[in-house]
Structure 1
Amino acid sequence: MTIAAGFVCEEGILICADTEYTSSGDKLEAAKIFPRSVDNIEFLFTGAGDRSLIAMTTDMICDAIEKENVALAGMSLSSRTEEVRRIITTQNQIVYSQYVNYANPPISETQMLIGFLSRDGDICEYRLLGVGSPTVERIDTYECIGAGASIGRWLAKTFYYESCPLDLIKVAALYIVQEAKANVPYCGGGTTIYTLKVKPENRRRMTLWDDESLAR
């Protein structure tokens, strides 16, 4: 089980998640946000559900983009952004048609959030995508997934607005994950935040492993 959330603002994208997962009844700690990069494209992947499926989908998407790297580099920024989205959609459909639909025993429902930012000199474009079943949709504001999604969405709508600054989103993201961990079974562990920023600072990571560090 998971609480993970993604936010879009003028300064870029933020993705946050807890770090606890359950395996054979045991509660374990592990990262749930996976940063990747292919040349001038930065990615953040996170998911809720089957960990193996999330990892495989992440690898397949990155491998497919790597194979198209030369073609992507020759595209305009807007064309590259749409091509990356097409590749993500195609690979996700392959995962579901070849693996999920025939899994025995059935694979638990899996959702993902994928943020990516593509640069061309001093300009960039970025997208946050929500992946559920074989569908991929663009998210223009925010989305929460996992067992803590309901409480996350309820809290997010109380603070989020169109020009919401990234610093405010960071504070709200911390609060959302903490509330999910406090009130939703199987959400727990630490809190991890990554950002993809329009200004060329690329990924920034902050991990808070317990409530004590959050209070500092």
Structure 2
Amino acid sequence: MKRKLVIFGLTDVADVACFYFKRFANYEPVSFTVDAAYVRESSFQGLPVVPFEESVERFAPEEHDMFVAVGYTRLNAVRKEKYLAAKALGYHMASYISPQATVLNDGRIGDNCLILEDNTIQPFVEIGNNVTLWSGNHIGHHSVVRDHCFLASHIVVSGGVEIGEQCFIGVNATLRDRIKIGEKCVVGAGSLLLTDAEPEGVYMGQATERSRVPSTRLRGI
């Protein structure tokens, strides 16, 4: 029998999470929830929207799990806050691990994690609680991803890397082996990190600028 699931959030992330839990996991999403101040509609994607303040009365933790489907707003602080609040109410926090992901770390993955298709998680990796790995990432052997991180898509984390709490890693970033990323770091899209990153640092890849030469004048294209 499928376990009943309440999803915190009303954004695209919540919509995507509901799709995956419903299609590929042993869960039946039954409701969405957000703080009462943010309830604008009575339903979302055909399911009722219930104020978070009423969730325990409407959806007993003994009979329902919860998943906090929030992105990296305020460097993951909002997702962390709601995750801790839901746990304090007694909810078991669900995780979704895609059957299309390659997971070789013997289940060293925390709760409230969202791990989408085409991720490769090599042996001896540790992934904390409340971590999002969007599609197509490589997490190298002996690496550690601490709690409340968000990794976008097509990121290469080489072997033995440590990523501190509440970090955001953008698409196509590359992290060299055996470096440490301090907590609350932002590593922008396309960045290449070869040395340790300081806590609360911002590391941005260089954006490509428009060439002043028209494309019709470039040879070999």
Q: Same fold per TM (> 0.5)? A: no
TM-score (norm 1): 0.23
Larger Rg: 2
Of structures 1 and 2, the one scoring higher in RCO (CA 8 A, sep 6+) is 1
Higher strand share: 1
- TM-score w.r.t. length of structure 2: 0.22
